[in-house]
Structure 1
Amino acid sequence: MSVMAATFVRNWRITLRAYPWTYFVGTLATGVLTIGVSMLAYRAIGGGRVGASFTAATGSADYLGYVTVGAAALTFTTRMVLWVAKAQITEYREGTLESQLLTPARRLPYLLGVTAQALSTTAVEITVLVAVATALGVRLTVADPLTLLAATVAATVAVVGMSVPLSALMLAAGEAHITQNTLFTAMALLCGFTFPTSYLPDAARWLGEALPVTWALRVLRAATLPGTDVDPWPAFAVCVVLGGAYLLLGLSILDPAERRALHRSARA
């Protein structure tokens, strides 16, 4: 717990002193543009109506609410992955990874500290995004706060579970941008942020089902879109199991990846 708290405090101090506000603007702009373009297409092209296939696939005719929840979830996912997955390679680039490895602290409490700080920062960004969407006329309701809490837990487990293996891959490869952007592109296509996954070919749909973010998004939509044809609790259970499996895999390959990064640094 002390490692987690110390990491949380350290990262907040860094954020307060040297927060790149361009990240905030870029994050907000991406989400707002997604909602704005969808709103324009819905009204100018769709005439304010959705097709029967969309209603059948989602259990709801609220297209703008569907897209807004997806845009907020995609923002949450990408921002959290950026914070958590890049934590170790940032230590490596700054020359502090070796010092970190020499400490008796375990990796999981450190990563949980990074996650806690990332959650607090990302929550502000999501709040602003939802406020802008509300100003544009989108209306979201929370019929069951418990389901919304479960969705938040599921989303956190999902992104942490996927971030740790990604962190190991970044360290092993000594590269971050191509690796993370490949994951972001795959998630945006496969997880159903802006359209139902049933629209995908079977092979792509099954790939999406293997990602815990897909299941977390279903819980979130069940909490915020009345009438959505999703039972949140089985989806929550699948998300937690998948996220836990990804996390265990990531922790098992993180140590070899750290050693590979240090060997590469020593040869240089």
Structure 2
Amino acid sequence: MANTDLESQELKSLSGNGGKKQQPLISVIMPVRNRVEHLETALLSVLSQKQGIAELIVIDGASTDGTVDIIRKYSDRLAYWLSEADHGIYDAMNKGLKQARGKYLYFLGSDDILTVRLDELESVLCDPSTVYYGDYRTEAGPVRNGHYNSWRLAHWTINHQSVFYPVKAFENGGYSLKYKILADYEFNLRCFGNQRLRFRYIPYEIAFFSGQGLSSQVADPAFLADRLSLIRQYLPFHAFLYISVRSFIGRLRRSMIKPA
């Protein structure tokens, strides 16, 4: 069967209440394309969690390297999966959102690893109006996110592999396809500017972040062009003023550096 064919596997675990499907606490959405060497480890980091606490949704972008064979291997343990051409990682993530049934949404890269025990978060993820975020690990060691405020978010975004979003965060839409690499930054700004949402730091290491994805290697010109206007739109004016001054000083310094 061609790996561009639409395929899906419905969630098989049922609750004991009249045969109805039990709503998981977390929907883990994993976009992937041509990651055959790393995908299985990423999948197992979710599938090894306490049964019933999370569902795993895999959206493949028409891989050609054997990735789909790995997905099929675990298809009976996935809530949903498909393989088809898409318009990039955020298009895949939006497709996953449409299939999610969890109270919270979490996005894991196909070369990253979920390290937290999700059952430890059952009593932590308790407010449907709160975006929860924790720490993460890289090859260089642990990274503590700590508390984010508007000043810090204006400087840089929260690592995507450390965030749990309530369903409410997506009521007004998912990720913008205008931004190919940093749509998650735009989304975090949008959430921060949403008066119906709060952000809360939780002191848990959530995942190992490989840093091998596109966002770590490729720039996003469209986002960089819109960054200041987005910060002005979603963050308080003092944060906009702060980052504007930093950007001006940075440009001034670069202009003063003469080529040898």
TM-score (norm 2): 0.28
More helix by share: 1
More strand by share: 2
